[in-house]
Amino acid sequence: MTIVVVSGLIVLYFFCGLFTPYNYFTAKWDIAQNRPRILQYGEAMNTDEQAVKIAANFGFTYDIVAGCLVTTPLVNGVDIYNSVTTKYLDNKLGSNWKKKFDFQVDSLFREVRVDTIRKTILAIDEVKELDNYLDSASNGKEHLFIWVLPQEKNNPNVRVSRKMPDSTIRVFYNYQVDPYSLQASSIQY
């Protein structure tokens, strides 16, 4: 009998994270206390900071509970914890809350990266040469305008342009820049 109980507890520990700080029961408790949380572990993601900020708008907190060194019981416990919280949020906010949350997190991340994207584009040789030419030809009064647009798949999200004397905009280059990797590829129109 004792062996069965001990074996059962070991199984609950390893596969359900029962004796870890995050499991089915702690998720239910946090929800009952009106403190739902989504937990993250592992290598830090580029968008963690934005996820923490946006989560409050959805009525939960986004907590990073462990770094790269995690145990199997912790991983299993967090996964079960998050599944309970996700079901609760699905009922409370509707089944598409996760898509809206991810979109807002991604948008905030991209907003933060605009200056970095501009610097990435200005480091491209052909853009740098054109910007230097405009600078020298105008005695420092004119530079290229790097226009960072909302991300659309297979469309440019960066336009390299110049405002002409007649107030029209001339686009010299179009680029697709991944805001995460900062890899830029030229797109021809």
What pLDDT, on a 0 to 100 scale, did the predictor assign at position 35? Answer: 96
Instruction: Give the up-direction half-sphere exposure of residue 89: CA atoms within 13 A in the CB hemisphere.
Output: 26
What pLDDT, on a 0 to 100 scale, did the predictor assign at position 60? Answer: 96
* 17: pLDDT strictly greater than 80: no
> At a CB cut-off of 8 Å and minimum separation 6, what does 130 contact?
144, 160, 172
Secondary structure (3-state) at 36 = coil
Confidence of residue 15 (pLDDT cuts 50, 70, 90): low
* Strand (E) or helix (H) holding 91: helix 72-93
pTM of the model: 0.68
Confidence of residue 8 (pLDDT cuts 50, 70, 90): low
Give me the amino acid identity at 175: Y
19 touches 13 (CB < 8 A): yes
What pLDDT, on a 0 to 100 scale, did the predictor assign at position 41? Answer: 92
What pLDDT, on a 0 to 100 scale, did the predictor assign at position 163? Answer: 83
Q: What is the pLDDT of residues 113-171, one digit of tens each?
A: 888 989 999 999 999 999 999 888 888 888 898 988 876 666 778 999 988 888 888 99
Q: What is the pLDDT of residues 35-58, one digit of tens each?
A: 999 999 988 888 899 999 999 999
